[in-house]
Structure 1
Amino acid sequence: MFSRKGKAERTAAEAWDYLSSAMASAGESAKETGKATAGVAGAKVAELAGKATQQSQKLAGKASRRSNKLAGKAGARMNAATDEAWARANLAANALAGRKPGLPWGVIIGASLIGVALGWAAASTARAAAERRAENEELQLAETAIVSTPTYDS
């Protein structure tokens, strides 16, 4: 009853809708995580700063460094997760749009350079072996050569 084209189009439309909602929810989730992380880091900073002012100026500096480090770690984790989510979402969107991924030129060039280096090393080794073989043959000929001097009868 339904043609293949209609079914394929419906499947693609459903996939597109799912991807769009997933990207939107990933963005919202990233925003909420950022706000929550900032709130937790801010609360931790406030708590550590309160203790530090009670104890001494030295402890205040230490607490500030520690809270910055904790906030930095939390931010780095959030950024890594957000970057991964966006990269995957973009790959999926490109696949649904029919765009093929680009060639990994860095890997291709790197493999080519390694191949050239290995070829050069093999050629140099073969050339050196051929030269040694030629020298050994010359030495063997020189050792086994019979020197004969002609005798003249007068």
Structure 2
Amino acid sequence: MFGTNVLDRRSKPERIADQAWTQLSAAVGSAGDSVRGTARSARRNGLDLADGAGDLVGSAAEEARRRALLAFDALAGRRPALPWALLISAALVGAAVGWAAGTAARAVGSRDGRGVDEIGFVDVDRPDSPVGTEG
């Protein structure tokens, strides 16, 4: 008698209730783990979506703010500022293209064995030309 288990002394309904409680606790625990895993996954995906949406909304808000300021300036009669960065960059690109074209022209001219500086110009008097007539 002393070696019997205390749980064995309970009645059958008490044992069934205890087993049901144990199973319910295990089911709630595993469901909680599943819900926690799902919540972590949803939170992670939600943060990624929120970051993407925040970037999109931020850029849209900046564009809306820029357009609103331009509209306000137009209604106030102010002209938009000159795009100095664009003008300066176009001038620099033009200078670079001109320099490259000049270098290429000098290279082509010196390929014949004579430099571009050695080309001589001949003045030709035309019969109808007022230049060179003295009189």
TM range (shorter): 0.5 to 0.7
Amino acid at match of 2:102: A
Aligned pair partner of 1:111 in 73, 80, 90: 90
* Whole-angstrom distance in 2 between the partners of 1:58 and 1:133: 80
Normalising by structure 1, we get a TM-score of 0.47
Pairs within 5 Å for 1:71-110: 71-110=50-89
Where in structure 1 do 4 or more consecutive aligned residues deviate above 2 Å?
53-65
Structure number with higher relative contact order (C-alpha < 8 Å, ≥ 6 residues apart): 1
Q: Pairwise CA RMSD of aligned residues?
A: 2.5
* Whole-angstrom distance in 2 between the partners of 1:117 and 1:65: 51
- Consecutive unaligned residues of structure 2, counting only runs of 5 or more, are 1-31, 115-135
Aligned to 2:12: none
- Consecutive unaligned residues of structure 1, counting only runs of 5 or more, are 1-52, 136-154
Aligned pair partner of 2:104 in 113, 122, 125: 125
Count of equivalent residues: 84
Deviation at 1:59, TM superposition (A): 6.2
Bigger Rg over Cα = 2
Deviation at 1:77, TM superposition (A): 2.1
Amino acid at match of 1:108: L
Pairs within 5 Å for 1:1-154: 54-55=33-34, 62-135=41-114
Secondary structure (helix, strand or coil) at the match of 2:80 reads: coil
**Structure 1 or 2: more helix by fraction:** 1
Q: Any idea what the Cα deviations from partners look like across 1:95-125, whole Å, max 9, x if unmatched?
A: 1111111111111111111111101110111
Deviation at 1:81, TM superposition (A): 2.3
Amino acid at match of 2:43: S
Deviation at 1:64, TM superposition (A): 3.4
Normalising by structure 2, we get a TM-score of 0.52
